[in-house]
Chain A
Amino acid sequence: MNCEVCQLKELEVEHFEIREVLRCILHTIVFHRALGLVRPKVIDLELFDITYVQCGDGELEKKIDEKIEQFISWVEKHPNKKSQVCISFYEVKNKHPSWFTNKTERLYWEQWYINLNVSQQQKVHSGKSHPSKIVVDPGENSLEERSNRRAALESSLREVLFQIIKFVNEKKDHVPPISDGVVYFPYEITIPSSSDSAFGMDMIKRMLQTGHPTMLS
């Protein structure tokens, strides 16, 4: 099976925007790969005038958030770098894979690359937990700059979302058949940190996290 790859347009984000931007993109992707019964959950972004759709799965949401946190902490250690988050969908060859080994074979049939360019300039002002309240006035010019930049990012983000939708529309043949009771296809999210020393642990963890729920259900 061929593996389709989608490179999403690079987004220039500030540190405090990473969370929302990634959530929005990752959930949108997964929503289109959740072909089981879903009750869509509609989310309005706080930082942008954009609405996206989740598939309303609490577990999934939690895992995506965890992954995003990992990514953010990686970004903090590696400032001023372009970085990539990859979400891949795969099929597991073994019908009854054992969770604690790497034996199971994953056939990747799709990969999405989210390209982020994190700018650090505003990091000082940004609080982790209250990104939306950051807007202190650093002077009119910079305020204006900020709003311009924000608007630019918003439209880029919207473009990326449309890019996802178009890709989903154009490429349908490679999507594996739907299995009963499986809400979303098994996926894995890769962030730059996976090349760190924690790689092994990460792999196992990822297996547990991603492979597990889908197969059980």
Chain B
Amino acid sequence: MIPERPMFWGIDYSWLFYVIAFVAICIFAVGVGIHISVWRKSKSKSNTSISWQAVKQSLLEIVSGARLFKGDIAAGTAHFLMFWGFIILLIGTSLLAVHGHVYSFLTGTTYLAFGFFMEIGGLALLVGITWSLVRRYVQRVPRLERRLEDAVVALWLLVIACSGFLLEGVRLAAQRPGWDEWTALGPMIAGFFPQAAARSIYPGLWWGHGLLCLAFIAAIPYTKLFHLVGAPASYYLHHSPVTLSPDPEAAFEPGVQWDLAQRAFLDACTRCGRCVEACPSAGAGEPLAPRAFVQAARQSLWREERPAGDIRFLLDLDPVEDRSAWFCTTCGACLEVCPVYAAPFEAVGKKRAMLIEEGKGVPDLMNQTLERLFNYENPWVSSKRDRAAWAKGLDVPVIKAGGNNEGFCYFVGCTTSFDDRAQAIAVSFSALLKQAGAEFGILGDKEPCCGDIARVVGELGLFMEKMENCTELLDKFSVSDIVTSSPHCFHTFLNEYGDSSFRVRHYSSVLKELLAQGKLRPQNRVNATVTYHDPCYLGRHNRIFDDPRQVIRSIPGVKLVEMEHHGADSLCCGGGGGRMWQGQDIRGEARMSEIRIKEARGTGAGILVTACPLCLIMMEDALKTVGYEGEMKVMDLNELLLQSLSNG
């Protein structure tokens, strides 16, 4: 007897199965269609040509589950097992249909191999789903929610996996085929059933299992299972180089604009909570919950774009307080860990834009800061006249309009220009540049604000104005090469100005270059253990992790040690996202900067080095409030490097 599985063995009305399958697939397709219709309402233009590079990258991430293993091997493995179990069983069942109706090939050894793989698939699914349930309901992993949808979806899969094995066992008990040693669980289950009993319960069991599976497929777009479609879309849109230039008119249109990729991200979210775990604001006991924000943003988008409402029928969400939007530092830690490349901080940004437009609930200090930014071109209580006050007596070249300006423009930035502590960055950087003989100039009191603060707090109209002013001024001074003090200005020029014609670098990259060219030769020993704090907008947002570290390593005597959170996992100082200008009514149980300085102290380092004016101010303050003065110093990268160069 040749091993094979007769199609629809012992099942009457087998055609009915195909009718129901067709209906299930239609329900699935309608659901996916509704999602896509919401995505397509995006007004922004995106690339229409397919990027095969992005397809390749996405596929690789999907089959490997790499994003899921990151930072959580247990969750990654459980998902990997479920994912591959599901895929193997889906493909296997489809092959069975091909075998039965198109081309008969699942016989003999091929069938035995098929059975073996199906068994592996089933086991993977069973182990994966059980593990996930244990993590959620027994271990009660803190980041996991226990909502109705979570229970229904997981139990549904568990029942499908169990009933599949039960069905196999009952079938083997009824058929007694003699080649069942190829399967592991089947014969064990078969042992419990006498042949006659097995024959009588088999059809009922078969229909039950089949209907559960078909209903599961139909339910995909209507539950968090939609990530089966949403996540691949999200991966592709993340990797495909969609170039979006900010449309100046769009900023003056009422309402908040979501682009295609952002819409896909929202629908791909499975509420896994990795963002909550990574969020430094949530970690400091502040009321911000990135996950809740993504869900709330999704719901409000659906309400707006689809009058008939949301199709996620099992969703019960907690309301999100508007006030919590102001806590986000836009540090990007949430995006870093998100398995589907959702950026909760962007959802927060949209909420801020809505609140700014309504005008209500904007924190008082932020309200005043934006007025000041509009009136005086900086967020500090400072006059434009004093912008170059730090350079007094330092003989720093000033760029002249229409002049023949050699070298690059050192864009000092508002905070570095006006804050007493941060001015040290400008003073030491310009001293280094002069020692290296670099050609550069500053814009002096003509220097504008790049508009970063307006953008991150959601005042997009003001940002557009600042961007236009700034571009105009840089044109007037024929600036084509910019070096910034602040990673925030750097990021804004590089990524938010659209098609700008100038080159932008952060000072750390310039220092690295000058060292490599031998124009700066650190000679004085600086005997210190140093740790480096990655500024969010230099590291995570723009992937410059190594340049500042190379500069530190070039200094003789310095020993660089890393904190637990460094590089892409760096912790925010708490000064980004407009938080620097929001005062004390926005705070949690702990200060982010204090959490960070304690971590730095824990490495045993005597100096905490950073490369951002906001980080410098935040960490310096934390040093004082925690009481580490005298034990430890906070320095800018320029200050440290200058110590090994100056002969004084």
A binds B: no
Q: Which residue numbers of B lie inside 8 Å of A, CB to CB?
A: none
